[in-house]
Amino acid sequence: MVLVSISLFVMLLITLTLAGLTSFEQNFTIIDNGGRFYAMRHGRRVPKLNRPPDQRRALLRGLTTQLLKYGRIKTTRARASAVRKYVDKMITLAKDGSLHKRRQALGFIYEKQIVHALFAEVPERYGERNGGYTRIIRTLPRRGDNAPMAYIELV
């Protein structure tokens, strides 16, 4: 009897302490010393590509535009793995095909003709595929500085 009442008390205590937290806050380790501090984001790093944020965004927009235009480009492995996320996002936007998604793509891709071609071609090309629209193929290092190179192409 005493064991049951203790377990009910513990469950009630846990419920009351979690009631003050939102679902977002429950995913983190909370250190309570007067304020709320969340655990560090280890392993959640954005690829920096040795550039400030505005130049990095312009580089990724340019690589995305070129990959969607030519279907295959040769670049460094770090750039290829960074641009993959944005190309997949543009193809996902094109699969939806709504006006809002088209305007979002027009805001990211530099050339308007590529956006119109993308929205016309993607639904029949990638209709059944859920993600994985690009392939990275490793190649020999670059001759001048021995940088690891790769081809990134649309599947």
In a domain, 34, yes or no: no
- The pLDDT of residue 29 is 60
**Nearest residue to 87 via CA among 111, 65, 102:** 65
pLDDT at 40: 75
- What pLDDT sits at residue 44? 75
Q: What are the mean pLDDT values of the chain's consecutive 10-residue runs (155 residues total)?
A: 59 54 60 61 85 96 98 98 97 96 98 97 93 97 97 97
Question: Which of 80, 92, 82 is closest to 125 using CA atoms?
Answer: 92
Instruction: Report yes or no on 14 lying in a domain.
Output: no
- pLDDT for 39 equals 65
Q: State the CATH number of the domain containing residue 101.
A: 3.90.1030.10
- Distance spanning both ends of the chain, measured CA to CA: 64
Instruction: Look at residue 142 and tell me if it is in a domain.
Output: yes
pLDDT at 41: 72
Number of domains observed in the structure of the chain: 1
Residue 87 domain boundaries: 53-154
- The answer to the question of residue 47 being in a domain is no
Q: Report how far apart, in Å, the C-alpha atoms of 87 and of each of 4, 5, 10, 81, 154 are.
A: 56, 57, 49, 10, 9
Does 8 map to a domain? Answer: no
